[in-house]
């Protein structure tokens, strides 16, 4: 692990303490690209944590990043379905729509306008060095749009427009939070010296162990190796039965040597709230089929209330649209106020 990662984890652990001590002093901005239904990797990796933080009393803004979804997709035809699907998944997971602000990039003009001054505060070589963007460009294989190249600056606007001071993220997003901090600092130095206007946001890293996909690779919406929140119990069991394991009968928890088996053990452990080692011991000579049944049962039981809420809400499309419309309106007000202040500080109010 690199030293920056260790430092980020240490800072993150300290932050967790500060949040518990005074949740109301924090405002979270977090978001997802609308590229398909959310899966259990999202749930255990971040959604569950968002719900926990909101219940503690932290203010929560959730961005459906539709202008990020167009960085690497050719067709926007699916966006309406995917956007509404995200709202549904959020509410099913337990995000309280009366308190959270759920909104989309494309509807918040004033947020997007912040990208222009922010672009002036970073250099092309800084953008070129961003490791996450580099990976995404390499994975894409084709030509790289300028939006892909500059989306971390846009993401800084996502975070700064609402003065969020806490951004719960996975490791891959750390460079983006770092850039948001840099932009905040440079903006303050240049336009508001001595009286910082933007807070420097902190990354809050999840503590949940990482779940791999059912084939042992990274879990991904587009890789066909995930279980979505909305999947039926039968489908869940079927997919877990088909998961990759190895040729050894006895089940043990050895993440390095047996990553696929360890992943199923971990899934069962997370869902039933016991240690992975205990799950492995329980299954022992029962082998992969017993492990898979245990994991499927534990996951189905864990997701049952979420899925029940999800199917109920799925029929209430007017409600889902109203939640988003209200979120867009509130995010719009916040963005308008920020842009007004930014214009003032930049001497561009004529």
Going 286 to 291 to 297 to 302, the CA torsion angle's sign is: positive
Give residue 85's Cα distance to chain centre.
15
Tokens 């070589």 map to which residue?
125
Q: Does 68 bind ligand TRP (CB under 6 A)?
A: yes
Among 8, 53, 169, 306, binds ligand TRP (CB under 6 A): 169
Among 19, 38, 95, 159, binds ligand TRP (CB under 6 A): 159
Write the DSSP assignment of 13-57 as a string of letters.
HHHHHHHHH-GGG-EEEEEE--SS--BHHHIIIIIHHHHHHHHHT
Among 28, 40, 47, 65, binds ligand TRP (CB under 6 A): 65
CA gap 345, 332 in Å, rounded: 20
- What is the pattern of x (binds ligand TRP, CB under 6 A) and - over residues 8-37? ---------------------xxxxx----
Residue partners of 145: CB distance under 8 A and separation at least 6: 71, 72
Classify residue 89 as left (phi > 0), alpha (psi -120 to 50) or beta.
Answer: alpha
Q: Among the candidate windows 1-9, 92-100, 153-161, 338-346, which touches ligand TRP by CB under 6 A? A: 153-161
In whole angstroms, the minimum distance from the beta carbon of 63 to ligand TRP comes to: 5
Burial of 349 (0-12, 13-18, 19+ CB in 10 A): exposed
In whole angstroms, the minimum distance from the beta carbon of 246 to ligand TRP comes to: 31
Q: Does 83 bind ligand TRP (CB under 6 A)?
A: no
Q: Which of residues 253-272 bind ligand TRP (CB under 6 A)?
A: none
In whole angstroms, the minimum distance from the beta carbon of 271 to ligand TRP comes to: 23
Give the total of residues touching ligand TRP (CB under 6 A). Answer: 14
In whole angstroms, the minimum distance from the beta carbon of 262 to ligand TRP comes to: 25
Instruction: Pick the closer one to ligand TRP by CB: 162 or 267.
Output: 162
Contact set with ligand TRP (CB under 6 A):
29-33, 63, 65, 68, 155, 158-159, 167, 169, 173
């Amino acid at each position: 692990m690199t030293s920056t990662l260790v430092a980020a984890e240490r800072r993150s652990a300290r932050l967790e303490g500060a949040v518990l001590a005074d949740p109301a002093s924090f405002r979270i901005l977090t978001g997802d690209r609308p590229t398909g239904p959310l899966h259990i990797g999202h749930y255990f990796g971040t959604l569950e944590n968002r719900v926990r933080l909101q219940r503690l009393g932290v203010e929560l803004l959730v961005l459906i990043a539709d202008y990020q979804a167009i960085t690497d997709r050719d067709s926007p035809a699916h966006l309406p379905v995917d956007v509404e699907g995200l709202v549904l998944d959020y509410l099913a997971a337990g995000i309280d729509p009366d308190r959270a602000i759920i909104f989309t990039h494309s509807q918040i003009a004033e947020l997007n306008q912040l990208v222009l001054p922010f672009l002036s505060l970073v250099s092309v070589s800084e953008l070129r060095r961003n490791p996450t963007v580099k990976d995404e460009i390499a994975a894409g294989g084709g030509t790289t749009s300028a939006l892909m190249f500059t989306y971390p600056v846009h993401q800084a606007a996502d975070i700064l427009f609402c003065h969020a001071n806490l951004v719960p993220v996975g490791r891959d997003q750390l460079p983006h939070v770092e850039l948001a901090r840099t932009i905040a600092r440079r903006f303050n130095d240049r336009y508001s010296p001595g009286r910082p206007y933007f807070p420097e946001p902190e990354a809050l890293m999840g503590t949940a162990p990482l779940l791999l996909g059912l084939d042992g690779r990274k879990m991904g919406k587009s890789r066909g190796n995930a279980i979505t929140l909305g999947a039926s119990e039968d489908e869940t069991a079927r997919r877990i039965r088909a998961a990759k394991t190895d040729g050894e009968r006895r089940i043990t928890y050895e993440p390095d040597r047996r990553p696929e088996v360890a992943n199923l053990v971990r899934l069962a452990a997370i869902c039933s709230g016991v240690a992975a080692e205990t799950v492995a011991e329980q299954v022992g000579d029962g082998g992969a089929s017993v492990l898979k049944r245990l994991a499927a049962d534990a996951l189905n039981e864990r997701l049952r209330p979420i899925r029940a809420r999800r199917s109920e809400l799925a029929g209430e499309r007017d409600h889902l649209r109203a939640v988003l419309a209200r979120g867009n309106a509130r995010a719009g007000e916040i963005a308008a106020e920020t842009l007004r202040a930014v214009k003032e500080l930049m001497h561009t109010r004529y």
